[in-house]
A = this chain, B = another copy of it.
Amino acid sequence: MSKERFEELRRQLDAVNQDILEVLNRRAELVQEIGQLKSGKGTERFDPIREKEMLDKLVASNEGPFPSDTIRHLFKQIFQASLGLQEEEKKSLLI
């Protein structure tokens, strides 16, 4: 294995990590905005049907290498983190 190739792959991995960070936070911003619209309407923020629909779409378009089970697992964590963010915001509004 060439050391240069290994270093290059590590640099690429760091760059991809930053890309993931960026899209995760972009998603969090959108979820916050949707949450604010919903709260004005009094609609429940957790929507299991919509979550299932999103997961099904993701699995349908998944080309790997991550298997679909892993994609489901990771996105469930992301959805949960987004709800957590909304809860924190709600609390801060109540204080």
Contact = CB atoms under 8 A, between A and B. Distances in A.
Interface of A: 1, 5-6, 9-10, 12-14, 16-21, 23-34, 37-38, 40-41, 54, 57-58, 61-67, 70-71, 73-75, 77-78, 81, 84-85, 88
B20 A23 contact: yes
A12 B28 contact: no
| Total identical chains | 2
Nearest to A71: B21
B13 A17 contact: no
Given A37-B9, A71-B21, A77-B77, A28 B85 contact: no
A78 B20 contact: yes
Contacts of A24: 20, 66, 71, 74
